[in-house]
Amino acid sequence: MSQVPPAHPPKIALKNVHKAFGSKVVLNGIDLEVGRGESLVVIGGSGTGKSVMLKCVLGLLSPDSGSIRVDGEETTKLRPREREKLLHKFGMLFQGAALFDSLKVWENVAFGLIQGEHMPRAKAKDIAIAKMGAVGLGPEVGELFPSELSGGMQKRVGLARAIADEPEIIFFDEPTTGLDPIMADVINELIVKCVKDLGATAVTITHDMASARKIADRVAMIYQGRIIWTGHANDIDNSGNPYVDQFVHGRGEGPIKMQVRAL
């Protein structure tokens, strides 16, 4: 965090955020800060509230209580129009890529430019093809439909779409899940490169430690709806925290017990 000038508020700051679905408490007082231009990786098991946390920041879910600030501005009480404006700052790569299957690949990549920023289609297509080039896809792929692509290719398209309108903040939801180790590494490299090129702030949630080591400046561990540890990426192997230790080394035995029911 030392690289953040003190005059700037943190890019994203969550304070005491709670969220429950019915009687099931998912977020139980999350406190987390992400500095400008920093790449934070949030690790944690399945069903510990990682995705819910991201969706609360994006406003896809509204937290029950607590404060979420982006660039120092409180976002939990935003009206829909202001929310739409705020979301211009964000890009997101979804776990299953979430490409629009009724649209061609280039239309997917250009979607935010055409619909969100009302750019002419021809101009948006040029930008889309350039962004696809940045993630290693040739222009001929643009004319295909998402269902014709492999999982790894879909992730690349999702990444191109997330960076197309040059967001200040990018979220990655389990970017390597379901990919073979080589494709996973390719995606990791692309994420690091894209984030650096844009100078963006990145938050990645994952349970893939190889991915976390590659992407992260800083790592936070979430367990039972709370952040139980944060630290520099290099300190992850000697965190001194038994929960983090168990997770990082993937041991079945330890303080973390398996969750039976989905959240």
Partner 1 sequence: MGFLAATGRAFLIFLEATGKLGLFTATALSHCVRPPLYPRQILRQMIDIGYYSLPVVGLTALFTGMVLALQSYSGFSRFQAEGAIATVVALSVTRELGPVLGGLMVAGRIGAAMAAEIGTMRVTEQIDALSTLSTNPFKYLVAPRLIAGLTMLPLLVLVADIIGVFGGFLVGVYRLDFNPASYISRTWEFLEPIDVISGLVKAAVFGFMVSLMGCYHGYHSRGGAQGVGAATTNAVVSASILILVWNYLITGIFFSTK
Residues that bind partner 1 (CB under 8 A): 55, 58-60, 80, 84-85, 87-88, 90-92, 94-96, 98-101, 111-112, 115-118, 161, 165
What single letter denotes the amino acid at residue 170? I
For the chain, the straight-line distance linking the first and the last C-alpha, in angstroms and rounded, comes to: 32
Phi/psi-derived region of residue 115, left when phi > 0, alpha when psi is between -120 and 50, beta in every other case: alpha
- Give min distance, CB of 204 to partner 1, in A: 15
- Determine the Cα–Cα distance for residues 220 and 233; give it in Å rounded to an integer: 9
- Give min distance, CB of 172 to partner 1, in A: 12
- CB–CB of 118/89 below 8 Å? no
Q: Which is nearer to partner 1, 74 or 84 (CB)?
A: 84
Q: Which is nearer to partner 1, 85 or 232 (CB)?
A: 85
Q: Which is nearer to partner 1, 41 or 57 (CB)?
A: 57
- Give min distance, CB of 212 to partner 1, in A: 22
Q: Which is nearer to partner 1, 167 or 225 (CB)?
A: 167
91: phi then psi, degrees, rounded to nearest 5: -130, 150
Structure tokens that stand for 101 in this block: 């299957």
| CA-angle at 209, arms to 207 and 212, nearest 5° | 90
- Give min distance, CB of 83 to partner 1, in A: 8
